[in-house]
Structure 1
Amino acid sequence: MTALSDVTFYPFWLDDGQAPDSCPNLIGPAETDLLIVGGGFTGLWAAIIAKQRDPQRDVMVIEAGKVAHGASGRPGGIVSTSVIHGLGNAKRVFPGDMDVLERLGVENLDAWRDTIEGYGIDADLEWGGEMTVAVDPAHLPDLKEEYALHQQHGHDAVMLDRAATQAQVASPLFEGAIWSRQRTGTVQPAKLAWGLKAIALTLGVRIHEHTPMLSVTDLGAQLRITTHDGRIDARRVLFATNAWGAGHKNIKRYVVAMRDRVLATEPLTPEQMDRIGWSNRQGIYDTRTQLNYMRLTRDNRIVYGGRIGYYFNDATDPAGDRQPQVYERLAGYFAQTFPQLGDVKFSHAWSGPIDLTTRMAVHLQPYYGGKGIYAGGYSGFGVTGSRFGARLGLEALDRTGSPDLDLALASTLPGSIPREPFRWLGAALTMHALNEVDTKGGWRKAWLNLVHRLGFPL
């Protein structure tokens, strides 16, 4: 495909000459009150919140690679108040807690924004809103149900017909949309992570990059974390390590490393921008069964993602995801969405694991008598939700008695996911069905309905 002929297989967000230098790796023994394993959004937010609450608390973060070079440096970067992957998912999983979760989501987003703006972090924040667009007339009834939820829970949202949707973003596929206009927008995720790192360092957090955790030993009063070149004895440990399980062997029982593919175009010219409109610069999700999302960058590239996949045994860096053919189907979806941009080429293509759970929302897993807590499972909605997950993890570690810990989201676990080889077999069949269900239906729809009834959200 010509559009992919010169693509760089690397996240666009990280391809930035202004990226900060790495903090030194840990060498030798150390002690700390709170150790955070993982230097992504969850880990950095946890460090910041812990120091804001108690400036005297000794807090350390270790990161196996570089800050932002995991899941936090790869997402679309669409900002919202949701802490549970949208209103529809909240109704599916925790209908009795929706009002509380909505309130907590608003509080979380406001604190997220206040921290970033209060410390002067330039993360390309834009508040143009968030749109969910129907790509088939048959999807409009579901979209109207979603809009009713927005109204019921007080969102500043409008329902757009086809003409009004086309006036916002010109795509022949878009039949209608919900436009949520308050506390929603986009952010440059790597800049956000780098900014959070700077805040944490300013607050006195010790950060060690290139410091992979190798093992955990329970010493009774504390945990000993052995790293490549050192060890840390910590009274409390937050495992902010995503799906691939650093911290405890049972983490993977509830979280699977699905892979998301993303493309970034070259910067659009003013004339190319005129072809699509998009003057309000909303972040967009569509209603394909295998969802696509899209947004604009500061320099008017389109970042276009979706088409999830899975590699055997939760592989996190397979060579196959650095081949052009892996992205051809996604590029084809882009061409269907914006056929008027046939002269636009892609500059970057990347993929990486998403910590998918049956709930599609953060949850807590306590280990080692509560001295260690895993917080994760955002399923792609972690740009703002990670602050909420970090706070919950700290509440649980510190045993604050917060009423938020009584919520089912915090006090129960998602459904378990089969081990290999059944995990791979089920994922392969499901991915094949997802790729073709919207055009071919048949057994694919029956299989996906079965998977949905088993508790896996599609």
Structure 2
Amino acid sequence: MSNVEAESPEYGQYQGDSDVDIAIIGGGLTGLWAAYFAKQLEPSLKVAVFEAERIGYGASGRNGGWVSALVPGNRKKFAKAVQGGVDSAKAFQREFISSVNTILATLEKEDIQADQHKGGTLSAAHTAAGLNRLKAKRSADLAYGLDESEVQLLSPADFQSRINIAGVHGGLYYPDVARVNPAKLVRGLAAAASRLGVDIYEHSRVISAASGLLSLGRGTVRTGKTFICTEGYSGPFLGKRRLIPINSSMIVTRPLDEAAWERIGWAGLECLNDSAHTFIYAQRTADNRIAIGGRGTPYRFASGTGGHGQTAASTVRQLTGRLESFFPGIRFEPEHAWSGVLGVTRDWNGGVNWDPAAGIGSSIGYAGHGVTAAFVGGRTLAELALDRNTVRTSLPWVGYRARNWEPEPVRWLGVHAMYKLFGIADSWEEARKARQTSLIAKFGSRLAGLHE
């Protein structure tokens, strides 16, 4: 599991002057799914994808590999924003649940081998306060469309029978989640789209996108419809304050031996996260490594994106330390490390927007839940642009726009203050064996816009 930039196949660089029906900016999962579904809906369309670097260069090739039912944002906020209220938010949640199996079925149909395995997700509570947060989350899940079998409360013993985390207080199990290798997924999807007749161009940066015209370094493209599918890299097209790139880092260990896996368990190949405010996300890979991620250095001044993904040594040590605290006595050797950015709006709610007059649309703001969100968002964007009325085109994130982020240096100070407060809150809860969430964390959440 590694940065896709080093391994993806080479697609041609765009040059010249041409006409297409749909031009897609961004060669990640959103853009490729949008292209795939546009060709499924209308095979005669001329569809082209323009990627500034390599296919999957952004979050699509650097993520934690979770095909999950997590929606990109706060369901209560979405319910308040639309006429359908809670029922609309429930429909949104149900669409994400059903999309997990639809993605897996599509991978099978297109013979995409991405190490996919549907083992569910385990959310671990390391403290009593963390367990109470998970119980509250379960209540919210049940209120917004999940049933009892889809979010199961686990005792410490039940949890440790699956993954033997030291001192775990219990947790939640969600069966509707699959593990994938994100680099393999994005490469396989690009190949599937190409087979349908989608033209894919790498190293083809779009400099500007006006209604009906794209300007690139080596040419121009006239188009009837433009999809902006650039997630954390969307600033040049949508404005730097529309969403910001939040940095997330990952390490992957050397393969563990059989004795280590006997102590750890993890035979079900579940995805793993926890209830800490400075949370982690992880998976057991197909070649018996552990890939684990966390925020590291969360935000660069003036919405910097961090380029090729170099990862600070301190972040590598931090993530390795988390593994060592989960599984004491086992030696973990990081073999690879990388970083990438995800797109976050001011209220952490994503949105799919289509302007028929301008012929320009976007799907952005996945806030770290991007693998399934890219599928639903790209599919919805294609349906909106091609005048298809579906369950997806009436979901509450369609047409949703959060307010802009503050100008610099306010947003840099705010984001870093939020993560600092979360770290202090975790330490406070652990040291005091707290049963309730720290007021420090609640203040950090409100500062971030995570709550109403």
The alignment's TM-score, normalised by the length of structure 1, stands at: 0.88
> Offset at 1:203?
0.3
Q: For residues 247 and 261 of structure 1, what CA distance do their matches in structure 2 show?
A: 23
Q: Which one of 212, 221, 246 corresponds to residue 232 of structure 1?
A: 221
1:114 and 2:105 equivalent?
yes
Contact 1:13 1:189 (8 Å CA) reproduced: no
Q: 1:146 is matched with which residue?
A: 137
Q: For residues 66 and 320 of structure 1, what CA distance do their matches in structure 2 show?
A: 13
After TM superposition, the structure 1 stretch with the greater mean CA deviation from structure 2, 104-113 or 279-288, is 104-113
Question: For residues 1-60 of structure 1, what are the alpha-carbon distances to aligned partners after superposition, in whole Å with 9 as ceiling and x for unaligned?
Answer: xxxxxxxxxx725387xx442111001111100011000000000000000111101100
Q: 1:4 is matched with which residue?
A: none
Q: For residues 282 and 48 of structure 1, what CA distance do their matches in structure 2 show?
A: 29
Superposed counterparts of 1:15-414, under 5 Å: 19-84=7-72, 89-91=74-76, 93-94=78-79, 96=86, 97-151=88-142, 153-154=146-147, 155-181=149-175, 183-218=176-211, 223-245=212-234, 248-250=237-239, 252-308=240-296, 309-317=298-306, 321-341=310-330, 343-366=331-354, 369-402=357-390, 404-414=392-402
Contact 1:13 1:188 (8 Å CA) reproduced: no
Unmatched segments (≥5 aa) in structure 2? 80-84
1:166 partner letter: Q
3-state secondary structure, aligned to 1:122: coil
Q: For residues 157 and 32 of structure 2, what CA distance do their matches in structure 1 show?
A: 43
Contact 1:370 1:397 (8 Å CA) reproduced: no
Alignment: residue pair count = 435
> Offset at 1:149?
4.4
3-state secondary structure, aligned to 1:411: coil
Q: For residues 242 and 66 of structure 2, what CA distance do their matches in structure 1 show?
A: 25
3-state secondary structure, aligned to 2:112: coil
Q: For residues 173 and 331 of structure 1, what CA distance do their matches in structure 2 show?
A: 18
Contact 2:179 2:283 (8 Å CA) reproduced: yes
The alignment's TM-score, normalised by the length of structure 2, stands at: 0.89
Contact 2:116 2:180 (8 Å CA) reproduced: yes
Q: For residues 439 and 327 of structure 2, what CA distance do their matches in structure 1 show?
A: 31
> Offset at 1:180?
1.6
Contact 2:100 2:178 (8 Å CA) reproduced: no
Q: For residues 65 and 394 of structure 1, what CA distance do their matches in structure 2 show?
A: 23
After TM superposition, the structure 1 stretch with the greater mean CA deviation from structure 2, 421-430 or 368-377, is 368-377
1:44 partner letter: L
2:319 partner letter: L
Q: For residues 136 and 275 of structure 1, what CA distance do their matches in structure 2 show?
A: 22
3-state secondary structure, aligned to 1:412: coil
> Offset at 1:92?
5.3
Q: For residues 141 and 446 of structure 2, what CA distance do their matches in structure 1 show?
A: 25
After TM superposition, the structure 1 stretch with the greater mean CA deviation from structure 2, 232-241 or 318-327, is 318-327
> Offset at 1:292?
0.7
3-state secondary structure, aligned to 2:295: strand
Contact 2:241 2:405 (8 Å CA) reproduced: yes
3-state secondary structure, aligned to 2:225: strand
After TM superposition, the structure 1 stretch with the greater mean CA deviation from structure 2, 407-416 or 124-133, is 407-416
3-state secondary structure, aligned to 2:397: helix
Question: For residues 160-209 of structure 1, what are the alpha-carbon distances to aligned partners after superposition, in whole Å with 9 as ceiling and x for unaligned?
Answer: 1011111111111421111122x312001110000100100100001111
Q: For residues 409 and 123 of structure 1, what CA distance do their matches in structure 2 show?
A: 28
After TM superposition, the structure 1 stretch with the greater mean CA deviation from structure 2, 411-420 or 94-103, is 94-103
Distance 1:24 1:405, change over 3 A: same
1:14 and 2:4 equivalent?
yes
3-state secondary structure, aligned to 2:338: strand
